Amino acid sequence: MTQIADQIVIILSPVIGKGLATSAVNMQCKKLGILPENLTEENIETFSEHFKKVMQIFAGDQVAQDIVLKIGKINNHF
């Protein structure tokens, strides 16, 4: 995984656990046709938009929104 994918796993781990977080990042990347190691600043927004829908199912709207905001902040650090 890239540093970005690893950061997303860190954000998700307190909510869904590290194992599920890693699987979720891998599955979402696969659905988008990218590898986790190819997750970059250019495609993180698309990843976040699609991932929000998944998180709403598992954790509710507010948690999903908070996670998307945290993922968006990753983009500001690179």
Q: Is the Cβ–Cβ distance between 39 and 2 less than 8 Å? A: yes
Question: Per-residue confidence at 22, pLDDT binned at 50, 70, 90?
Answer: very high
Report domain extents, the chain: 3-76
pLDDT in tens, 40-70: 888 888 998 888 888 888 788 999 999 999 9
Dihedral, 19, 40, 34, 18 alpha carbons, nearest 10: 0
Three-class DSSP category at 2? coil
DSSP 8-class letter at 35: -
Please, what sign has the CA dihedral across residues 70, 44, 60, 21?
negative
